[in-house]
Structures are given as structure tokens and as C-alpha cells.
Amino acid sequence: MSLRFHIHHRDPNTLARVGLIHTAHGDIETPGFMPVATQATVKGLTPRDLYDLDAQLIICNTYHLALRPGAEQIAQLGGLHKFMNWDRPISTDSGGFQVFSLGAAIRDGVGKIADIFPDESMRDEVEIKGDRTPLCKIDNDGVTFNSHLDGSLVRLTPEKSIQLQHQLGADFILAFDECTSPLDTPKYTREALGRTHRWAERCLEQHARTRRAYQTLFGIVQGGAYRELREESARVIGNLPFGGLAIGGSLGRSKGDMHAILDWTIPLLPEDKPRHLLGIGEIDDVLNGVERGIDLFDCAAPSRWARNGALMVSRETAQREQIKNNRLTIANARFTLDTSPVDPSCACFTCAHHSRAYLHHLHRAKELTYYRLATIHNLHFILNFMRRVREAIQGDSWQEFRVANTLSI
């Protein structure tokens, strides 16, 4: 069976909804957040740690895994679930976003390279080039690019991306699309959108041919920050027989643009399919996405912040510590003798067992144990936040929750 989605409750004033996605590998409560496991591991954590954090779904990168160790190898090893020893649902992306990263993003210098490549080792490879020569070429049939690992030429088409994702064996797989840059003209964005729509149909055909029975294909709505294109894409993708829908690509140049894109798109999508906002998952973005009807989020920021020394805290703790955003900079010297946990209101393993002083020391000393403890904390924070989001919608207290938790007022 592919996924089944039940919406249990709706907020009366917004498009926010709580639901449950049933999959062959277990249920996912929505709205939900998926930690990013680029190379079949959330950096520093084992699958057992993710169970302890109650992560219900993770997302892996087809691009990275197809290059190393190889989709064929993972298939021979029984698929991603068995390879990682993770028996809950998995999502994979199509490789389209990495193609964008190797192409337009480098050419235009848009997007933080850190957002594009959550894998630092890959980021180094790309930054070394520095000359903004795109590493990929797009044609109507697919894309050709150089591997960031060894420079070898790789060809990716809609069919190939779906086959790779079938081999990897994730529960949710994504259509192969073309992500455009915010700097692309309306003309180019329209041309790319045509490709994305034709590729969507080819992905569906390939999916019918080689999918494992439990796999569900998500379509991706593109169209840049252009209303007409987004609306067209929502109608086209929304009418195709995808099992779920994703919003991808350039979400404009500001938070306002992103909200507008969601406002244009989501009312045109079918009600009964789960909606995934690709690559987005900061607190304010979750609040804005949820009330516009988003069910699933993925984002590398919480775990990357953790590794970089930025530990997420509640609004109360942020106010007490007089920090403007919701992230405590653990490198700060004032934590040297601070025996309190990162966030006194947090129930994670790290806060239950270790002090700011100890984390400050481990961070300064660049100790491996730091990365683990920090990642556990930030992922607990965002996963626990999603639980509270669901409770707020379920309890008809979304407005109060939203006001109490918005950071940038």
C-alpha cells in the first residue's frame, strides 16, 4: 500500500490541520518535521537516538547516496531502511535541488551554500571552485553534471531519478524537477516550469513501472515567485495522480514572498493529500506554513545550528538571557561557569544530563561529544515544537499558540 492520509481536525480560522499519515513503516503525525539524514545518517546520531527523540520520518538525499555508496549498492543491501537500521518512514528527494545547487545557485551566487549543501564536505568542494561556473547543464530530457566527489560525469533524467529512489527504497519519493533561481527571468522560469510539468508525467510513468508497492510519489509545485506560474503549477501538479504534494524551488526573496506563494498555491491543491514544504523548517516558517495548510517540513538548520554552537531555547529562556532570536551562542564566555542546562524548560537528554558549562567546554575544545549533545537538543526542540503545534490545532488554540511563539513580531 502507498500512504493513506487522514485529517483529524482543522483550525476554524486558518488552513492549519492535524492529521495522520499511515505508511508501511508506521504512522506520521502531521504537521510534522523530518530531520535531515543527507548521507543516511543524521550527523552525530544513530537511528536509536532518533527513536528516542520520537522522530517519525527522516529525509535522505538521493544525489549524495547515489554517488556514495550508490543506489544499486543500497538496493543490494536491502534498501535504506535496512542499510541504516531505521524501520520508520523515510523520504528521499529527487536530486533536483542539488542539480539547482550545482547550476543556477552557483552561477547566481544565490542562497547560502550552507543551505544547499548541509554536508560540509561537499560544501568545501563547491567553494573551492569559487568561479561560479555552473557544474551542470540542463536540457529538455534531463541534466548532466559533474560529481562533487570525483568530477565524473553524471546524467540524471526523470526516469533515472525515480529508478534511483526506487532502489533506495524510501516511503515517500519526490518527482524530479527543475528548481529555478530568484534571478531567473519570467521567460526562463516559464520554460523551466514546462519542463518540470513534462518531467512530472514521466516520473509518474516510471513510478508505475518500477516502484515498490509501499512507495508514494510526491509531485512538486514550481513557478518561482510568479503568481501566474505558481497557480498554473498548482493546478497541473494538483491534478496529476501523485500521492502527496510538495512546494519547492525559489520561494522569492523575502518571508513575505514565501507566504504569498503559499497563499496562491495551497487553495488550488487537493485537500486530501499531504503537503510538504521543501527545505523549510525554522520556527516562524513552521508557524506560517502550518496555518497556510502545510503538513510536512524538512530543514537542516536545527542540526547545523547545533554543530555551529547555536542552541535553540524557548521564548521565556531567550527573554531571560536577553537574546534577540531563539538561539543561545554556547561559545559565549558567560557560560563558562553556568551550571544550568541549555534550556531549563527542556526535557531532552542533553538538558537532563549536562550543563551549559560542560557544553561550552566541549564546544571550545571541538570535542565530538559536543556535536552529538547539541544535535540531540536542537532536534528535540523542533520535534517537541511540532508536537505543541499539533496540540494547539487539536485544542482549538492555534491563534494563541501562534502569537505566543512567533519570534519576529
Q: Other C-beta atoms within 10 Å of 56: how many?
A: 22
Contact of 109 with 103, CB cutoff 8 Å: no
What is the three-state SS of 142-207? CEEEECCCCCCEEEECHHHHHHHHHHHCCCEEECCCCCCCCCCCHHHHHHHHHHHHHHHHHHHHHH
> Which one among 357, 384, 387, 399 touches its own copies, defined by CB under 8 A?
357
> Which one among 52, 354, 384, 407 touches its own copies, defined by CB under 8 A?
354
Our CB check for its own copies shows the closer of 64 and 166 to be 64
Q: Other C-beta atoms within 10 Å of 57: how many?
A: 27
Our CB check for its own copies shows the closer of 143 and 359 to be 359
Residue 390 vs residues 199, 217, 292, 363, 406: alpha-carbon distances, Å: 35, 25, 14, 33, 16
Beta-strand ranges (E) seen in 192-259 are 216-221, 244-247
Contacting range for its own copies; rule: CB under 8 A; set: 33-41, 272-280, 292-300, 380-388:
33-41
CB of 74 to its own copies, least distance (A): 9
> How many residues lie near its own copies (CB under 8 A)?
41
CB of 174 to its own copies, least distance (A): 22
Q: Say how far apart CA 55 and CA 268 lie, in whole Å.
A: 30
- 272 a catalytic residue: no
| CA-based nearest residue to 206, from 241, 142, 168, 160 | 160
Q: Which of 11, 93, 184, 295 is catalytic?
A: 93
User: What is the β-pairing status of strands 244-247 and 275-277?
Assistant: parallel
> Which one among 12, 213, 366, 408 touches its own copies, defined by CB under 8 A?
366
Question: By three-state DSSP, how is residue 236 classified?
Answer: helix
> Which one among 9, 107, 364, 387 touches its own copies, defined by CB under 8 A?
364
CB of 394 to its own copies, least distance (A): 34
> Which one among 78, 267, 270, 395 touches its own copies, defined by CB under 8 A?
78
Of 373-392, binders to its own copies (CB under 8 A) are 373
Our CB check for its own copies shows the closer of 275 and 307 to be 307
Q: At 8, which amino acid appears?
A: H
- Is 147 an interacting residue with respect to its own copies (CB under 8 A)? no
Q: Say how far apart CA 368 and CA 356 lie, in whole Å.
A: 16
- Is 84 an interacting residue with respect to its own copies (CB under 8 A)? yes
Contacting range for its own copies; rule: CB under 8 A; set: 79-87, 166-174, 236-244, 321-329:
79-87
CB of 267 to its own copies, least distance (A): 41
- 298 a catalytic residue: yes
Site string for its own copies, 321-350 (x = CB under 8 A): ---------------xx-x---------x-
Task: Give the number of C-alpha atoms closer than 13 A to the C-alpha of residue 279, restricted to the C-beta side.
Answer: 24
Query: Whats the size of the chain, residue-wise?
Result: 409
Q: At 10, which amino acid appears?
A: R
Q: Which of 119, 171, 184, 298 is catalytic?
A: 298
Contact of 268 with 251, CB cutoff 8 Å: no
- Is 308 an interacting residue with respect to its own copies (CB under 8 A)? no
Residues that bind its own copies (CB under 8 A): 39-48, 68-69, 73, 76-78, 83-85, 121, 336-337, 339, 349, 353-355, 357-358, 360-362, 364-369, 371-373
Just list the catalytic residues: 93, 298
